[in-house]
Amino acid sequence: MGMLKDKHVTLYVTGSIAAYKSALLTRLLIKAGAQVQVVMTAAATDFVTPLTFQTLSKRPVLTDLFTATEGDPIKHITVADWTDIALVAPATANILAKMAQGLADDAASSTLIATAAPKFVAPAMNKNMWANPATQRNVQQLRADGVLVIDPAEGFLAEGYSGSGRLAEPATIVAALEAYLQDHTPQPLRGKQVLVTAGGTREAIDPVRYVGNKSSGKMGYALARAARDLGAEVTLISSASLTTPHNVDLVPVVSAAEMETAVNTYFGASDITLMAAAVADFRPEAIVDHKIKKQDDTSTLDLHLVRTPDILAGLGKQKRADQFLLGFAAETNDLLQNVQKKLVAKGADMIVANDVSDTAIGFNSDANRVTLLKRDAEPEQLAMASKDEIAREILLRVCQQLHLA
Ligand code: PMT
């Protein structure tokens, strides 16, 4: 999941009644984070207008070879080169035949033949057209050429009867693309257990009040998603309230003490532990068991705070040689010397120092700027980027350190 993010998908819509379903398909692809370029055959434009797809994809639709678009006289080559994945949906018997033969007599077939990227076809046609030996021969040829076929489903056809030839559901098509990308993306963390902590812990004062901090959990969740996309099994121990990423095991906690218990439960099985949580350093000594009432005769309230356990330092002490431990530090650049000392003192293998002097980055923002501190190496500053990109960069550095391909 999440593999379609920022991918360039060229969606070929050909002349079938199922062309209307391609509008929903376009929306699902965009929702999954893809950029979508639609190419239509002349027949497809009889079923749905290019304007529909232009509006949904926010890109002009390619419909013919000879109208130069935006000063680009070889638009079909530009689109072919731009493509990460080509998807023909719905694919008629005609386009399957043309692709199998290598014909290039319109914008769709010419762009397809110029495309080096992986190609998917999702056929949709009458059941007899689908069963026809010529169609089956063409599909066989396409499979042999490496084209991926998303088989049509059995079901009610536009002709008014049931049979095979119905376009696969848009969600099924998107899932097929995601699964392909998952299998074809290098996954250096495959087989590894990754433990991530995220969010600011909340230390109760009474049943309705707490001492907290500004951490949203966004950095930790980005790390969990990035580790998952690199193939890891991920456990996320979180005190934040963000959407749980797909295929990530969530362990919700509230306080530093709960986080420590959860971390200790999962740490033994973890290959890589990433402590992105902003764990409170202090908690109220005792939790009052009822809501503290305002006293009319006093204008102050004394809170006596005591230290919480330093979870990271505790892990540093129990860590085995085959485990990798990464901590975060909310610092400014001139304090890097101190962070380097912290790295050794806390027994971590890497510390990610956030520059929290700038409010556009760090706590609760979508972007971050970090410096990576490793043992026996110069600090490495990463350029400001989204937390998702920073998370991926951090994990790729961890893979490098662990010599994971
Ligand atoms: O959640 P976001 O809004 O995305 O913001 C999180 C962040 C971008 C600021 C994040 O990247 C970050 O820096 N998180 C840790 C901030 C922090 O608590 O720094 P610290 O210097 O207090 O702690 C240093 C390290 O020790 C951290 O790895 C922390 O998890 C750990 N620690 C701290 C205190 C404690 N009692 N136990 C701990 O394990």
The pLDDT tens digits of the residues spanning 114-150 come to 999 999 999 999 999 999 999 999 999 999 999 999 9
Task: Give 334's pLDDT tier (boundaries 50, 70, 90).
Answer: low
pLDDT of res. 197: 98
pLDDT at 68 over 80: no
Task: Give 155's pLDDT tier (boundaries 50, 70, 90).
Answer: confident
Which tokens belong to 145? 């050429």
**From the candidates 213, 264, 338, 364, which is the catalytic residue?**
213
pLDDT at 215 over 80: yes
Other CB atoms within a 10 A radius of the CB of residue 76 amount to 23
Preceding peptide of 90 cis, ω within 30°: yes
Per-residue DSSP letters for 190-255? TT-EEEEEESB--EEEETTEEE--S--SHHHHHHHHHHHHTT-EEEEEESS-SPPPTTEEEEE--S
Please state the length of the chain: 405
pLDDT at 40 over 60: yes
The whole-number average pLDDT for the span 14-27 is: 97
C-alpha angle 64/87/190, rounded to 5°? 150
pLDDT of res. 293: 84
Pocket test for ligand 1, best of 213, 215, 237, 343 (most atoms within 8 A of CB): 215
Integer Cα distance of 24 and 42 in angstroms: 20
Cα of 225 to ligand 1 centre, how many Å? 18
pLDDT of res. 185: 85
| 368 labelled catalytic | no
Other CB atoms within a 10 A radius of the CB of residue 263 amount to 25
Which tokens belong to 151? 């088989």
Cα of 277 to ligand 1 centre, how many Å? 5
Task: Give 194's pLDDT tier (boundaries 50, 70, 90).
Answer: very high
Cα of 278 to ligand 1 centre, how many Å? 4
Q: Which residues in the chain are classed under CATH 3.40.50.10300?
A: 193-292+302-401
Measured from the CB, is residue 368 less than 6 Å from ligand 1?
yes
Measured from the CB, is residue 217 less than 6 Å from ligand 1?
yes
Whole-number percent of the chain with pLDDT over 70: 98
Pocket test for ligand 1, best of 306, 312, 346, 370 (most atoms within 8 A of CB): 312
Handedness of CA 102, 105, 107, 108 (dihedral sign): negative
79 close to 37: Cβ distance less than 8 angstroms: yes
pLDDT of res. 186: 86
Which ligand 1 atom sits closest to the C-alpha of 222?
Answer: 4
Task: Give 193's pLDDT tier (boundaries 50, 70, 90).
Answer: very high
Integer Cα distance of 13 and 22 in angstroms: 7
147 close to 139: Cβ distance less than 8 angstroms: no
Per-residue DSSP letters for 36-102? EEEEE-TTHHHHS-HHHHHHHHTSPPB--SSS-BTTBTTHHHHHHHH-SEEEEEEEPHHHHHHHHHT
Strand-pair category, 193-198 with 272-275: parallel
Q: For all residues of the chain together, what is the average pLDDT?
A: 93
Integer Cα distance of 198 and 217 in angstroms: 5
pLDDT of res. 69: 63
pLDDT at 163 over 90: no
Measured from the CB, is residue 86 less than 6 Å from ligand 1?
no
We find that the CATH architecture of domain 193-292+302-401 is 3-Layer(aba) Sandwich (3.40)
pTM metric for this prediction: 0.76
From 3.40.50.1950, 2.60.120.960, 1.10.287.3510, 3.40.50.10320, which CATH number describes the 8-183 domain?
Answer: 3.40.50.1950
Which tokens belong to 371? 């410096």
Task: Give 308's pLDDT tier (boundaries 50, 70, 90).
Answer: very high
Q: Which residues in the chain are classed under CATH 3.40.50.1950?
A: 8-183
Task: Give 92's pLDDT tier (boundaries 50, 70, 90).
Answer: very high
